Structure 1
Amino acid sequence: MSRSTGAFRETSAEPHTESVPFSHVSLELGHLYMEDFAEGADRLRRHFATARPWAEAVRASTAARLANGRARVSTCFLIDDYFSRLSTPDRLIPPLLSAAADAGLTIDYLARESGCAVAPGTDGTEVRLAESVLHRLVESPPPGTGGFRPPVSRTGWLSNGRRTPAQRTSAALDSTGASWQPPSENTARGHSVFMDVELWSDSGEERTWSCAFLASVWQLVRLGLLRDNGRAVLTPVLWDDREFPEDWDELPPVVRLNSRAQPFSAYSTCSVLPTRFLPVEHAVRIVLGQVHLEAAALDQAMSRAAREGFTVPADIADRTSYVFPPDP
C-alpha cells in the first residue's frame, strides 16, 4: 500500500503579486536612436508631425470599443541610452518634448532602454529584467520533433519554427540520398515565414542584449505583466518641472512627465514607429509568443478588462499593435 505525500505550504508563504493600474492602451509615440537625435530639431518635428494623425486614430478607435466611449490612453516614448549615449538628458529631452508639443502631442511617460536590461528594485537592489524574461522563455518545438536543439538560454537564438538541418559534410552520409530540407514556421498558413531571432551577443566579458529582446521586455512592461518577486517593476517616477540631469544613470528608468496622465501600464499597446522597426517588432512577437508569465499578473489584467467590457486577447503578442509610417 502506497502512502500519498504532499507538500505543505502556509498561505502566508505564497508571494503576493502587486497590483498595478491600467489604461486601455499604452500609445508609444516613437523610439528613436541617438543618431536620429543628432540630426537636430527638424528631424524630431517631422517625426511627431507624422505620428500625430495615427495617434488621433488610436484614441478614436479605442473609444469606439467602449460602451461609454471614455478611453484611457497614456502616451510614452522610449529613448535608446543602451547602445549609445551621444548626448545627455539635459540636452536631448527638452528639444524632444518641445517638438512633440509643436505637433500637438503630449508625452506622458519617458523611458530609458537601458532600464529594460537592468533596473533598480524597490529595495535598492538591481533587477535584471532582460535576464528574468530570458528565464521565462519556453520554446515551442516544431510539430513532430522533440528537444533536439540546444536551449535558447545557451545559444541566445529563438525561432518560430524548424531550422534547416545542418549541412552534411560526409560523403558516406551524402550517399544515403538525404535531401535538403527548408526551414518551416510552426503555425504557417500555407507558406512559412521563418525567423531566427538573436537575443544577445557575448563578447566574453559582458552580454549585450539585442534591440529585439529589449523591445520585447519593453512591451511586457507596458502591458503590466512583469514582476520581481511579486513586486511591480519600472514603476514611473513623477518628474514635475525639475531640470533633467547631465547623466542618464541619474534619471529613473521611467519618468512621469504629465501629472494628469492615465496609468503607464495598459491592457494593450500600440506603437507608432518608423518603417525600419518592422523586422524588430516581428521578432518581438516571436518572443512574446514563447514567454511564460505569472498567472496572477495575467489574471489581473484579464479580469479587470473583462469588467470594463474591453476585450483582451489571451495571446500576449495579440495585445500589441503597430503603425509603421514611412520615415519622415
Structure 2
Amino acid sequence: MSDQSNAAMQRLGFALVLVPWVVANPGATVESIAEWFGVPAEQVRDTVRMLPLVGVPGDSAAYDPGNLFDIDYDDFELNDRVTITNSVGLNHVQRFSTAELAGLSAALNYLAALLPDERRAAATRLAARLGGGTVTARSEGRFAETIALLRACGADRGAVEFDYTSASGHRSHRTVTVERVRMTQGIWYLSGVDGVDGAGLPRRRTFRLDRMAAVARSERSPIAAEHDQATPASVATVSGDDEAEPITVTLEVQAEAAGVLMAFGERLTDDVSWPVRRLVRVASVPALVRHVSSLPGRVRILAPASVREAVADHARRALAVSADAENASSDESPAE
C-alpha cells in the first residue's frame, strides 16, 4: 500500500471515531479534541470541514442537504468549537431482526451445553439482553458432562450404559457403542450401535440425550450386554418408539396445519400457495405419525412409503379401537 493510500486510510479512521465523539460532546473545542485523540489541531479542523461533504443517499439516491452531515459553522469559525447539527442517522437505534434474534438464540442454546459454567452464565446474560429467548437451563451441568463423556467414548469407540425412556414412556437399560453426538433442531442426539439385528448385523439407533439417565462408561460391548439382559426373542426386536436415524419425509400441508412446517424450521411467506410440499428431516417417526394423525385431512405424508404405511396402520388401529368401543356400548344397552 502506498504512502498516499495509508494517509487516506488514517484520515478515514480518524473521521469515523471523531464523529460519534463530537456527537456525545457537542461544543468541544478543537484544541480539546486534538488533545484527546493525540493529533494536530489542524488535522481536526480539516476533518471537520470535510464532514458537510459526507452523508448517505436518501430515497431519491441523491445526496440532498438533509442526507449530509452539517455543523454549526459560526461557532466553528468564530470560537473554534465543533457541534454537529445533523448526524445523518447516527441517532437511529440499530436492532436485530426477528430472524437474527432467532439465530443468535439458537446458537446460544447450542453453545450452552458445551461451555464451562462461567461462560454459560455469560451466554445466559447475553440472551437476556438480546431479548431473543432464554438459554436452555435444564440440568446444564450434568448435560454438558454427559456430552463430554459421550465424545470421549466416541473417540476410542467405547460404549456407554444408560436408562432410556422412549416417546411412549417405555423404559429400558441400554448399552451403546458411541458413534456420533450431534444437535438437530435444538435437541442433542446420540447415534451408535445398539446390539445386532436378527441377521447378525450391527443395529444402529439414535437416542435423545434428554431421555437418557444414569449415563456411564461401559466395559461391555452392546452385543454382550444384550445377550446377558434380553430374551432370545427380543434380540431381533426393537421397540417402535425408539428413535432411528433421522430420515427425509415429504409432507403436503394445508394452511390450517402450518405449525407443523414451522416446527421443522420451515419459513413460510404470506404469498405461499396452499397446500405446500416440503422435505423435512424427521428424527422420531412415531412422534410424526401421532402428530399427523391428530390433523386428519390437513397433513399428508407423500414419501417414503414406510412412513405412509405407519400413518395408515395407526389410523386402522384407532378405527379398530373405536369400533370395539361402539360394539361394547351397544351390547350393554337394553333391548327395546
TM-score by length of 2: 0.23
**Which of 1 and 2 has greater Rg?**
2
Structure scoring higher RCO (CA < 8 A, sep ≥ 6) equals 1
TM-score by length of 1: 0.23
Q: Which has the higher helix share?
A: 2
